[in-house]
Amino acid sequence: MIKNSITYTDLLEDFTNRNIPVDVPGFYDHPNFMQVEEKNASYLSNYAKFIDYRPREQSYDDYVRYVAPMVVKIFHEKIIEHGSLKPDTSVAGLISKTLEKMNIWNYVVKGSMTLDFPVESQIDTRHFWSLDHDGFKTAHVWLVVPPFYVVDVAFLLHPFSETELKYVAPFICADANQIIEAEIEDVISDGYCSHLQKINVPRSDYFAVISPQTEKFINVFPAREVLSSSTKIKYIPVSVSAPDVSFEQMTSIRFQGQTGFELYENVIKGLVEKY
């Protein structure tokens, strides 16, 4: 597991020593990177943290602030048209590869999400837990696309009621600069917490008993809070992910017959070229 104390210089030196080029987004699919990852399953975290630390110029940030929301809006519309997608890494992976094509650094995050609706809504807090009795699950997925630390198009992939949807934006591109402390109850389900309490496991040991790696990961990739249409949303990362095939090979999801790559080539690429 990546250490909390690691620096950009440390990461750059490590990649250089392993002959892993770092000049373009998506170098996690370089053979030398994958060779390391075969022996160290958590090595992808180094790629993610490299993106967090990577120096950026204002012109680059301006470019991302223009392109990312446009791309997310297009995929949001395609998700609605499709109508039967699930909140897993598939769509996020397509967006990630699309952004990489436009030289935008990003990575996919799997994690927990807690929504605190405004008092006047009279809607109870909604939890999407990553840890439950049946082990780890993909509760929610979003992207980190600095300067946006939360890019989320997955709301409509969950069974929200029409009333709940009135209090959240259809998609989010947020700086999410507010770092918060992740609560145990945000990550571990109520049922599992109750079980641990019944068998006299101290609350401070819940992560140690269930998934010590999760607690370590959260220490390196902190939780963040976003205000979306008056609803407070906590995003708690528990792991990072990346597509394991090329953009052209990602054909399982089609939008009116188009793959994600074809959508990029036929629609998105031309819009970005006008920037």
For the CA atoms of 261, 267, 272, 275, the dihedral, rounded to the nearest 10 degrees, stands at 170
24: which residues sit within 8 A by CB, 6+ positions away?
100, 103
Euclidean distance between CA atoms 239 and 4, whole angstroms = 14
For 162-211, the DSSP string reads HHHHTTS-SSEEE----EEPPPHHHHB-HHHHHHHHHTT--GGGHHHHH-
Whether the pLDDT of residue 164 is over 70: the answer is yes
Average pLDDT over residues 115-139: 90
Euclidean distance between CA atoms 193 and 175, whole angstroms = 32
For the CA atoms of 190, 194, 196, 200, the dihedral, rounded to the nearest 10 degrees, stands at 150
Residue 46, SS3 per DSSP: helix
pLDDT, one tens digit per residue, over 199-253 is 999 999 999 888 888 999 999 999 999 999 889 999 999 999 999 999 999 999 9
Residues in the chain: 275
- What is the overall mean pLDDT for the chain? 93
pLDDT, one tens digit per residue, over 37-77 is 999 999 999 999 999 999 999 999 999 999 999 999 999 99
For the CA atoms of 162, 228, 218, 37, the dihedral, rounded to the nearest 10 degrees, stands at 80
pLDDT given for residue 274 in this prediction: 67
